[in-house]
Structure 1
Amino acid sequence: MTDNVNEMNRQMQKLQRFQQSHEIDKQIEAIQQLYEKLASSAISYTNLILAAGYGGYLAFWATVSGKVPAWLFSLTGFLILTSLTLFIGWEISKMVWGAIHMRRIDKLLQGQKGPHIVAQYQAAYASNQQRTGTVWIFFLIPTVLTGLGAAFTLIGFFALSLWKLTFS
């Protein structure tokens, strides 16, 4: 009888460990889903800000054509369009790579069943994100430098003009 009670206790402990493990897995999955939603929202917000920034800069730039020297107008136009082209190029590349990667994952996992599918999908997704992140910096740096270069060049010109008007 004691053996039966001990065995039942061991089985109850196993069941409790399984339940705890299952609860932890559910919490991890919920955290991952929340992170993906937050990351998606952050990307959407960033793209909105960038689009508004480029649009605002280009609208302003178009209005100063007769007010700045031709070389400055050309330089700032070249810088901002280079930045915009790099940004658009990155977004298109990311979209194409993502689509290709999803097709590969679909082919890899097609017809398979079981809990290991989720783990394989997550590993493939993480691998794609890591590769994308590695290439991203090569687009980010020149995009930011040329965009800010255009903005600060015009700001510098207007600041110098204001200085001359005020103190001359």
Structure 2
Amino acid sequence: MIRGLLVAFSAVFMLVFTASAENENSYQFENEQQRATYRQLIKELRCPKCQNQNIADSNAPLAEDMRDRTYQMLKEGQSREAIIEFMVARYGDFVHYQPPFTTITSILWWGPLFIVIIGIGTAVGLTRKKKAAVELTQEERQRLEQLRKSGDE
């Protein structure tokens, strides 16, 4: 049973890998640098439809269009930055795995830090409150001492 699952998993993996390799091989590049830039870009750009999958791994028609557009722009001699800017302008900051630091994205950068600070503040506040509740007044200490003495007898 497990062996059959491993064989099935391997077959699916090989099909996906082969399809990805065939897709890239259908493009003709002028040099190895251009091919490397293309590979880097399609791994760095995120498919808007698939959410957490880059356009290299996505089988969505939108990702295929993005790969084609990336190839065309590279063939036209556009820079890596120009291609990224085009994709961000067209699909939004989400399309790039490394979004710029803006007012809107600052929530993503600073949000976790604020949550940690609030958590630490809450823990310290609750600890101090609990510690204050444990402290006895002078009358309570005297009464406790009396109870101890009467219990010893």
Task: Tell me if TM exceeds 0.5.
Answer: no
Between Structure 1 and Structure 2, whose CA radius of gyration is higher? 2
**Alignment TM-score, normalising by the size of structure 1:** 0.28
Higher RCO by CA contacts (8 Å cutoff, separation 6 or greater): 1
**Which structure features the higher share of helix residues?**
1
